[in-house]
């Protein structure tokens, strides 16, 4: 067959492709993704009075976007109705959704964001990026405003320890987190009582207990292997208790050799010991969080690390009489700088007030209402979860898990700590997760663990494209 | 004559232009934007971007995760198409010529339907099902091995860096082999039986017939299969994202380009860098398609 003899009435494929590419290469770029308008918008404001300390304009509508995940959005609707009672002239546009980031990214780019956003869930927008792009309102006015319940106390004084710091970037509070999460080790109290086990407060006692548990035919530990960050929590918590606030600071500030500090190596050694002595349920490294937690709920395993959301998450699969409780991670040694009751605590459900919204004063006021005892109590009742407002659980009947969380928070008092590198430097967090996963499967040693993580931290520190934070 | 032609062009334009316009807006323009963004430091939320030249690309070739992804995608590119096509050909031949005297076996169409089933499930669902199959303690695979006394072969399939990528590839092969079997079977049944009979008369065995007679006649189908499966192997995002530890683990053993792109864009908010990965992937895929189609460019055999 001779191709040249073919009758070709139409342009060839090649010619069409060529024309198409040429056409597309012409900047079709004018009105596209990056075309934002940076002109300042005039935000509405009303007169400041004792009743209205933030100067909310009464007639301006308020647009609220809520992440509708595990906590639903009924608590927010409740707070919105309180808002409408105070400002009868305003309408509230409520949107509950799951993919907050997808819906709001174009609106942030175009500078037409809503007035207040619960930026949470797997599809949330990266907070550090929003901060460095200057897209958020400084929350200082809100934090210094009188609280709704007691005008003599500022909003900032009604929050649990660490909440304001969690939302502070570059010395400015720009995020306010609504739920309070603490991390610890979970076990079933009846299971422990049945065998006469007591939860240990030191690592040596933990190893001794694990030996007993193993003899009883139960796997001592498991972890959510597909996501090794769950196992980082006990590791980093033990290191922080041993090394104190300075250790945490050095890590977060990317100081040279921060990850080679002895308490971190010791904590990594402790986790490696668990693996080395066969105290971790075999196959854990391939289990998803649901699979690992299910094995634990069926009492195949005694201990699992998790945050305080565990009880709510396991609601449907927890057998009757399981009565889970959370304990803080044990102390590495007698010379720890923080008491054993110290807790890794941080707040989440990140509420932000976009800078370019039409009604930022209303956004701030919505948060003042949401963070009042009334609204926070309602949230706690609906979701059996601890809000970041102090005393919100007082007077409520608590389940076994939430009760143990409250006890632990009360016992810790001001001794809470949190690492910020996870939110500041996501690539470093990934490197730590990967390394811990390898450590727990005995594929690397504690020394290799700290070498690897240090290398990743050095790479982040040396990368001029990454915005640095200090604490 | 000239009028006739005009009418024809007008009709053609009417038929093509709306589709072309949609294509330009929703396919070509995003491509063009991706090329442009790959030269910037866009964060995804800011209206402001800085032009950084080829920075993202120099960063790319030094990024150990991207290099790991290239290695993994490369291995998949070799293994997945070859295994899928070999299995597809074998199954198609068995169904089409496996019966008496080289005829179709009884119930051929029900076999085809059964093998085609995975194609009806979406990839994330397939990945989820296989995650259960690979479950180290309660999974079907280890359960089977233990039931037949092969306890020593039971593994933590997705938790072992040496096995995880192979476990992922097995899923990709399983999910696509049925489709290509049906494709090949259709081409095979178009081969006149005289040709097969002549080969058999000349004393060709079954394998020789398949290798020397049938396969050359199927060149076009196989070539197309190579391109599609190559694109699949260069992607593999959905399966890795759903199934593997991390995802992309353990310890980046199953990292693929698509996953790195997704992570950089939607977790790290480095849309510029992610766009650079997309551009790299675009050229890889394009090269693959061109090579595969060129390699197979030969004189066509006309049947009958």
- DSSP per-residue string spanning B141-167: HHHHHHHTT-GGG---GGG-TTTHHHH
- Model confidence band, residue A133 (pLDDT cutoffs 50, 70, 90): confident
Choose among A66, A126, A137: nearest CA to A357: A137
Residue A85: predicted pLDDT: 92
For B24, which residue in chain A has the nearest alpha carbon? Answer: A24
Give exposure, A305-335, as e/b (b: 16+ Cβ within 10 Å): bbbbbbbeebeeebeeebbbbbbbbbbbeee
Residue A28 lies in a domain: no
Per-chain mean pLDDT for chain A: 88
Q: How sure is the predictor about A444, in pLDDT bands with cuts at 50, 70 and 90?
A: very high
Q: Is the pLDDT of residue A2 over 50?
A: no
Please name which of A40, A109, A97 lies closest in space to residue A63, comparing C-alpha atoms: A97
Tokens representing residue A260 in the block:
């080679």
Strands (E), A339-445: 343-352, 416-417
CA distance A352 to A76: 14
Last residue of a domain, one of A384, A407, A430: A407
Burial class (CB in 10 A: 0-12, 13-18, 19+), A171: exposed
Per-residue CA distances from B220 to B179, B194, B225 (Å) = 16, 21, 9
Specify the range with the lowest mean pLDDT, choosing from A8-22, A34-48, A121-135, A319-333: A8-22
Whether B44 and A105 lie within 8 Å, measured CB to CB: yes
Instruction: For residues A274 and A331, state if they share a domain.
Output: yes
Q: Which of B46, B245, B266 sits opposite A437 (nearest CB)?
A: B245
State which residue of chain A sits closest to B64, comparing Cα positions.
Answer: A456
Closest Cα of chain B to A323: distance in Å?
25
Selection from A287, A286, A227 nearest residue A433 by Cα? A227
* A1 is a domain residue: no
Asked if A149 and A206 sit in the same domain, the reply is: no
Q: Nearest CA of chain A to the CA of B97: how many Å?
A: 31
Distance CA A350, CA A167 (A): 8
Query: Closest partner residue to B48 among A27, A36, A283, by Cβ?
Result: A36
The reply to whether A321 and A225 lie within a common domain is: yes
- Residue among A24, A35, A225 minimizing CB distance to B245: A225
A277 or B214, which is more confident: A277
Q: What is the pLDDT of residue A77?
A: 94
A260 and A296 housed in the same domain: yes
Q: Within a domain: residue A468? A: no
Give the domain CATH number at A305.
3.40.190.10
Distance between CA atoms of residues A361 and B86, nearest Å: 66
A276 min Cα distance to partner chain B (Å)? 17
Q: Are A427 and A378 found together in one domain?
A: no
Burial of B129 (0-12, 13-18, 19+ CB in 10 A): middle
Which residues are CB-neighbours of B101 under 8 A, at least 6 positions away?
B200
Residues B269, A25: C-beta atoms closer than 8 Å: no
Q: For residue B52, what is the nearest residue in chain A, using CA coordinates?
A: A465
Supply the pLDDT for residue A52.
Answer: 87
CB contact under 8 A, A29 and B42: no
Distance from CA of B269 to the nearest CA of A (A): 6
Q: What is the pLDDT of residue B296?
A: 64
Same domain, A242 and A97: no
What average pLDDT score do residues A438-454 get?
95
Whether A222 and A294 map to the same domain: the answer is yes
Q: What value does the CA radius of gyration of chain B take, rounded to a whole number of Å?
A: 24
Interface check A112 vs B, CB under 8 A: no
**Given a cut of 90, is residue A447 above it in pLDDT?**
yes
On the question of pLDDT at A3 being above 70, the answer is: no
Within 8 A by CB and 6+ apart from A178, the residues are A118, A347, A348, A349, A351, A370, A371, A376, A379, A387, A388
Chain A residues with CB-CB distance to B252 below 8 A: 434
Count A/B contacts: CB-CB distance under 8 Å.
Answer: 136
What is the distance between the alpha carbons of residues B37 and B283, in angstroms, rounded to a whole number? 16
Chain B residues closer than 8 Å to A443 by CB: 161, 251
Cβ of residue A225 closer than 8 Å to a chain B Cβ:
yes
pLDDT band, very low/low/confident/very high, at A385 (cuts 50, 70, 90): confident
Identify the contact set of chain B against chain A, taking CB-CB distances under 8 A.
12, 24, 28-29, 31-33, 36-37, 40-49, 131, 134-137, 156-159, 161, 244-247, 249-252, 263, 266-269, 299-300
Q: How far is B68 from chain A (nearest CA, A)?
A: 14
Do the domain assignments include residue A191?
Answer: yes
Shortest distance, CA B233 to any CA of chain A (angstroms): 23
A325 and A360 in a single domain? The answer is no
In this predicted structure, the answer to whether residue A7 has a pLDDT above a threshold of 80 is no
CA distance A267 to A238: 6
Q: Does A107 touch chain B (CB under 8 A)?
A: no
Using CB atoms within 10 A of its CB, is residue B29 exposed (0-12), middle (13-18) or buried (19+)?
middle
Q: What is the pLDDT of residue A47?
A: 77
Query: Mean pLDDT by 10-residue block, N- to C-terminus, for chain B (304 residues)?
Result: 70 90 92 91 81 90 93 95 94 82 76 86 92 92 92 90 95 94 89 84 83 86 91 92 90 94 89 94 90 72 56
**A129 and A235 co-located in one domain:** no
pLDDT at A27 over 70: no
Contact A34 B37 (CB under 8 A): yes
Quote the pLDDT of residue A42.
57
Cβ–Cβ below 8 Å for B45 and A433: no
A27: chain B residues, CB-CB within 8 Å: 32, 36
Task: Name the token pair of A25.
Answer: 């290469």
Does A263 touch chain B if contact means CB atoms closer than 8 Å? no
State how many domains chain A has. Answer: 2
Residues A170, A279 share a domain: no
Q: For each of the domains in chain B, give its residue range(s) and CATH number, in order of start.
A: 57-295 (1.10.3720.10)
Question: Which structural domain range is residue A171 located in?
Answer: 62-181+346-407
Tokens standing for A179?
């739920």
pLDDT at A17 over 70: no
Say if residue A308 is in the same domain as residue A439. yes
Which of B269, B279, B300, B302 to mutate to probe the A interface, most A CBs <10 Å? Answer: B269
Q: Indicate whether A399 belongs to any domain.
A: yes
Q: Cβ of A433 under 8 Å from any chain B Cβ?
A: yes
- Rounded CA-CA distance B272/B204 in Å is 58
Please tell me if residue A287 touches chain B, with a CB cutoff of 8 Å. Answer: yes
Q: Does A283 touch chain B (CB under 8 A)?
A: yes
Average pLDDT for residues A234-255, to the nearest whole number?
A: 95
Please tell me if residue A110 touches chain B, with a CB cutoff of 8 Å.
yes
Tell whether the model's pLDDT for residue A371 goes beyond 90: yes
Rounded to an integer, what distance in angstroms lies between the CA atom of residue A216 and that of residue A211?
9
- Kindly state whether residue A22 falls inside one of the protein's structural domains: no
Q: Do both A326 and A369 map to the same domain?
A: no
Phi, psi of A194 (to 5 degrees): -60, -40
- pLDDT the model gives residue A33: 56
| Residue in A23, A34, A107, A124 to test binding to B, most B beta-carbons within 10 Å | A34
Res. A22: pLDDT tops 90: no
Q: Is A33's CB within 8 Å of B37's CB?
A: yes
Distance CA A278, CA A284 (A): 11
DSSP string, B84-115: HHHHHHHHHHHHHH-SGGGPPPTTHHHHHHHH
User: pLDDT band for position A335 (50/70/90)?
Assistant: confident
């Amino acid at each position: 067959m001779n191709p040249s003899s073919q009758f070709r009435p139409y342009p060839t494929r090649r010619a069409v492709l060529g024309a198409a590419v040429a056409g597309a290469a012409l900047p079709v770029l004018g009105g596209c993704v990056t075309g934002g308008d940076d002109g300042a918008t005039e935000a509405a404001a009303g007169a400041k009075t004792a009743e209205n300390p933030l100067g909310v304009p009464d007639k301006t509508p308020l647009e609220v976007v809520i992440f509708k995940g595990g906590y639903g959005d009924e608590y927010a609707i409740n707070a919105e109705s309180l808002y409408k009672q105070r400002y009868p002239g305003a309408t509230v546009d409520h949107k509950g959704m799951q993919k907050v980031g997808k819906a709001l990214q174009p609106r942030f780019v175009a500078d037409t964001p809503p007035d207040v956003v619960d930026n949470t869930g797997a599809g949330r927008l990266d907070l550090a990026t929003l901060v460095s792009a200057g897209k958020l309102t400084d929350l200082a006015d809100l934090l210094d405003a009188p609280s709704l319940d007691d005008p003599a106390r500022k909003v900032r004084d009604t929050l649990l320890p660490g909440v304001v710091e969690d939302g502070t970037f570059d010395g400015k509070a720009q995020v306010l987190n609504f739920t309070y999460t603490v991390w610890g080790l979970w076990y079933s109290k009846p299971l422990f009582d049945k065998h006469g086990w007591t939860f240990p407060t030191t690592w040596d006692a933990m190893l001794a207990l694990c030996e007993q548990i193993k003899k009883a035919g139960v796997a001592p530990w498991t972890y959510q292997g597909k996501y090794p960050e769950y196992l980082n929590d006990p590791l980093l918590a033990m290191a922080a208790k041993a090394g104190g606030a300075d250790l945490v600071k050095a890590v977060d500030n990317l100081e040279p050799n921060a990850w080679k500090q002895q308490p971190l190596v010791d904590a990594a050694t402790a986790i490696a010991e668990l693996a080395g002595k066969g105290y971790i349920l075999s196959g854990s490294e391939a289990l998803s969080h649901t699979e690992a937690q299910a094995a634990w709920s069926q009492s195949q395993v005694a201990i699992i690390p998790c945050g305080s959301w565990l009880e709510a998450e396991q609601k449907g699969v927890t057998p009757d009489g399981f009565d889970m409780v959370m304990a803080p991670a044990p102390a590495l040694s007698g010379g720890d700088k923080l008491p054993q009751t110290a807790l890794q605590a941080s707040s989440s459900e990140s509420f932000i007030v976009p800078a370019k919204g039409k009604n930022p004063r209303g956004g701030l006021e919505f948060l003042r209402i949401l963070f009042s005892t009334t609204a926070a109590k309602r949230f706690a009742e609906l979701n059996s979860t601890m809000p970041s407002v102090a005393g919100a659980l007082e007077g409520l009947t608590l389940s076994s898990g939430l009760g143990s969380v409250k006890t632990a928070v009360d016992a810790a008092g001001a001794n809470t700590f949190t690492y910020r590198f996870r939110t500041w430097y996501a690539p470093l967090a990934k490197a730590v997760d990967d390394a811990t996963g390898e450590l727990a499967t005995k594929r690397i040693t504690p020394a290799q663990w700290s070498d690897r993580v240090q290398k990743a931290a050095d790479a982040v520190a040396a990368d001029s494209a990454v915005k640095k934070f200090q604490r | 004559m000239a009028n006739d032609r005009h009418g024809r062009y007008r009709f053609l334009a009417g038929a093509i232009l709306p589709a072309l316009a949609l294509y330009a807006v929703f396919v070509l323009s995003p491509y063009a934007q991706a090329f442009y963004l790959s030269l910037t430091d866009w964060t995804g939320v800011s209206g402001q971007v800085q032009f950084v030249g080829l920075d993202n690309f120099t960063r790319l070739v030094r990024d150990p995760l991207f290099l790991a992804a290239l290695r993994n995608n490369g291995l998949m590119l070799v293994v997945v198409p070859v295994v899928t096509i070999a299995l597809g050909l074998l199954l198609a031949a068995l169904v089409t010529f496996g019966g008496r005297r080289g005829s179709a076996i009884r119930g051929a169409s029900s076999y085809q339907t059964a093998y085609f089933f995975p194609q009806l499930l979406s990839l994330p669902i397939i990945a989820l099902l296989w995650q259960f199959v690979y479950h180290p303690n309660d999974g079907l695979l280890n359960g089977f091995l233990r039931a037949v006394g092969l306890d020593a072969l039971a593994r933590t399939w997705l938790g072992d860096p040496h096995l995880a990528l192979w476990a992922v590839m097995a899923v990709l092969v399983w999910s696509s082999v049925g489709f290509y079997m049906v494709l090949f079977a259709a081409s095979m049944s178009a081969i006149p039986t005289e040709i097969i009979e002549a080969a058999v008369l000349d004393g060709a065995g079954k394998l020789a017939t398949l290798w020397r007679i049938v396969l050359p006649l199927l060149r076009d189908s196989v070539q197309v299969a190579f391109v599609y499966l190559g694109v699949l192997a260069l992607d593999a995002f959905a399966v890795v994202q759903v199934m593997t530890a991390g995802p992309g683990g353990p310890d980046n053993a199953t990292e693929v380009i698509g996953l790195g792109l997704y992570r950089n864009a939607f977790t790290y908010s480095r849309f510029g860098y992610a766009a650079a990965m997309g551009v790299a992937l675009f050229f890889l895929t394009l090269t693959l398609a061109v090579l595969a189609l060129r390699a197979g460019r030969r004189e066509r055999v006309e049947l009958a």
